[in-house]
Amino acid sequence: MSISYDAVLDDMLAVAREAGSLTQAHFKRFRDLEIGIKGPADFVSDADRESELLIRRYLFERYPGWSFTGEEFPPVDHEDQEYRWLVDPIDGTTNFINGQHYTISIALRRGNTTVAGVLYNPPADEMFSGIAGQGAFMNGERLSVSGQADIGLMMVGTGLPIPGLSLYPGAYERLDAIRAPIGGVRIVGSAANSCAYVALGRLTGYFEETGFVDTAAGILFVEEAGGIVTDWWGRGPEYYEQTGAMIVANRATHAYLIDKLKDVPRKELKHAKGL
């Protein structure tokens, strides 16, 4: 049965907007939010849970056989393992609970390929979307990564790791070395939005050790916008999808970060897992 990804994308856009309205209602009263602690610097709010439940319900009604991996509830393995949703109901929860920009990320995977994605930044009303092989867009504008190749003008995004992350050792010395000769470093606070900013050309590159559920849609947009995505050592999706150590960038910034990160002890695969 051939599937029209255009029709699927329309549903993804519609549910992202609905989740946007739901989360915005909580966002407006962020100072009064109930905050749950999932771990060190890892938070959850009712908005994260409600957003995921809304997206699950909407997608299961329309695609009952497809499987689902979210952030707040256990994954659902339906009979059709070929298609799986990867959903981050609020990416940038720490931003969200402090009244700063966040994103809703929905990606559709067919086997080991991301075939469609939607990223919505409700506070900015920026809707990113794309289908593999058909380009990536923000509010209808086609995206292309920055052409910036001058190191002194590069703008790099990242996240500040907490102790306990496997790539934490030496992180701040690395950041110092990366920061020294370039134009600027930014902590956007959402891995998904950081990828979207690379696809849009607001960042020339981004690197972090983070989750693939957060970044699957954003990575599709960067590749559709002419960017490069590898792990910190130049290896492909079979590595960064599992280890989370990713570089997402235009060609020049990718080469710059690969050079700056080459001496970091490699993060190897724990075990093969289907995503």
Q: Should residue 52 be labelled a site residue for ligand LIP when binding is judged by CB under 6 A? A: no
Instruction: Give the SS3 label for residue 167.
Output: coil
Q: Which of 121, 190, 204, 242 binds ligand LIP (CB under 6 A)?
A: 190
Our finding on whether 159 is near ligand LIP (CB under 6 A) is yes
Give all strands (DSSP E) within 132-275, no chain letters: 136-138, 141-142, 155-157, 184-186, 205-209, 228-231, 245-249
Candidates 142, 135, 39, 49; CA nearest to 87 is 49
Which stretch, 11-19, 90-98, 196-204, 227-235, contacts ligand LIP (CB under 6 A)?
90-98
Nearer to ligand LIP, 146 or 215 (CB): 215
Q: Does residue 88 belong to the site contacting ligand LIP (CB under 6 A)?
A: yes
- Token readout for 29 is 């009263």
Which of 11, 52, 72, 91 binds ligand LIP (CB under 6 A)? It is: 91
Helix (H) or strand (E) holding 46: helix 46-62
Output DSSP code: residue 97: T
Is residue 209 a contact residue for ligand LIP (CB under 6 A)? Answer: no
11 interacts with ligand LIP by CB under 6 A: no
Is the CB of 50 or the CB of 91 nearer to ligand LIP?
A: 91
How many residues line the site for ligand LIP (CB under 6 A)?
11
The packing angle between helices 251-261 and 171-179, to 10°, is 140
Phi and psi torsions of 188, nearest 5°: -75, -30
* Residue ranges binding ligand LIP (CB under 6 A): 71, 88, 91-93, 159, 190-191, 208, 210, 214
